[in-house]
Amino acid sequence: MISADVTIQAQFYDLDPMEVVWHGNYARYLEQARCALLDRIGYNYPDMAASGFMWPIVDMQLKYVRPIRFAQTVVVTATLAEYENRIRIDYRIRDEKTGELLTKARTVQLAVHAKTGELSFESPPILIEKVRALL
């Protein structure tokens, strides 16, 4: 499938009182990788809006394997796992130097018609065409 990587260095403001990246910041890290993946596909949020759809995240799962610490550089990989009826993206966060797996995650987004608010049970043809052009 199609993947994209982003490199992130944990900043002081990302940390919690235990001096590891606060769990809520992982969603931001995933978002950065998701946007890189959607850019690669050519269907990022402005493209979604132009196609008449909103794509809310309806499910997010994270498995924290090891903590990320201050100044640690990580690579977040987002991989498109499903696209025909929903967008499911699988993520892996690894230490840049060692490649050690730190976090596994998954998000699911559903297509919603922007004008009506109705859920679409199939992805719009434009997304399917863009993905298949890259496969």
**Could you tell me the CATH number of the domain that includes residue 26?**
3.10.129.10
Structural domain count of the chain: 1
Give the pLDDT score at 1.
Answer: 87
- Average pLDDT of the residues of the chain: 97
Q: What average pLDDT does this structure show over 57-68? A: 98
Distance CA 121, CA 32 (A): 26
Dihedral sign computed on CA atoms, order 84, 85, 86, 89: negative
For residue 112, the enclosing domain spans: 3-134
Q: What average pLDDT does this structure show over 81-87? A: 97
- Prediction pTM value: 0.95
CB distance 77 to 99 below 8 Å? no
